[in-house]
Amino acid sequence: MNSQTGFRFTPKTLRPVPQPPQPVARRPVARALGVHKSYWKGPHEIEVLRGVDLTIYEGEFLAIIGQSGSGKSTLLHLLGSLDVPDRGEIHFAGKRIDHLPARQRDRLRNDSIGLIFQFYHLLPELTALENVLMPAMIGAGFWEYRRRRKQWIAKARRLLAEVGLEHREHHRPGELSGGEMQRAAIARALLTGPRLLLADEPTGNLDEENGAGILELLRTLNGTGELTIVMVTHDPAIARQADRTVRLAQGRVQGC
């Protein structure tokens, strides 16, 4: 009771004060730790990477930019287990992978890491559909592939439709445009459901319109499919399409 007014005040039930959302801890998908890589040209050693440290987080779209010869593609090949460092470590999904036997690295790459390149690397004698099916043919083995053939073909056709090539599945690479070949290569890279997609200059061999289409497709795959993407490019305008950009210079990562 308030002695001055005579009114009794009943405490109201207090609602909890809304708290700002807590940042979600991002899980690393891949890491390069103290990576060194050199190549030999005759008697001369060319040091390309000089202690690279880089972490790639789940669900991000990362661009690696740098001048020609800065080691961008070399780093991408190491992350994709196509090559091994001279020193340092490469980790994927929480496990070190650079010291694995070649057969195990091949299996890991086929199952969990998608790769697309500037020059597509489609087999000229195969149709678009057959090219997309290649990871399943290689990874599953003859009898396992035959057993699941209808399932793989259905998935390959669905992926071709998602990249806008459902009407070109029976065409060979020589009958496709550059943009169509790159879309087929992306569908191939996605067939086994990779956790990480590595793109080495994916628009470098395309005109501006087709290049913009490929970038839009990558953004869509990253946004709706939550696919982690690492893209190498020398073009700052293309790099700006990514969520995060790091620069390779003098064999080391800057701006990570």
**163 CB-near residues (< 8 Å, 6+ apart):** 183, 184, 186, 187, 217
Closest CA to 253 of 58, 74, 112, 39: 74
Domain spans of the chain? 59-85+100-254
CATH code at 59-85+100-254: 3.40.50.300
Locate 35 and state its tokens: 């990576």
Q: Digits of tens for pLDDT over the chain (256 positions)?
A: 544 444 444 444 445 545 554 445 578 999 999 999 998 888 888 899 999 999 999 999 999 998 888 889 999 999 999 999 999 999 999 999 999 999 999 999 989 999 999 888 999 999 999 999 999 988 777 777 788 889 999 999 999 999 999 999 999 999 999 999 999 999 999 999 999 999 999 998 888 898 999 999 999 999 876 799 999 998 898 999 899 999 998 888 986 5
CB 35 within 8 A of CB 28: no
SS3 at position 37:
strand
Query: Exposed (0-12), middle (13-18) or buried (19+): which is 209, by Cβ within 10 Å?
Result: exposed
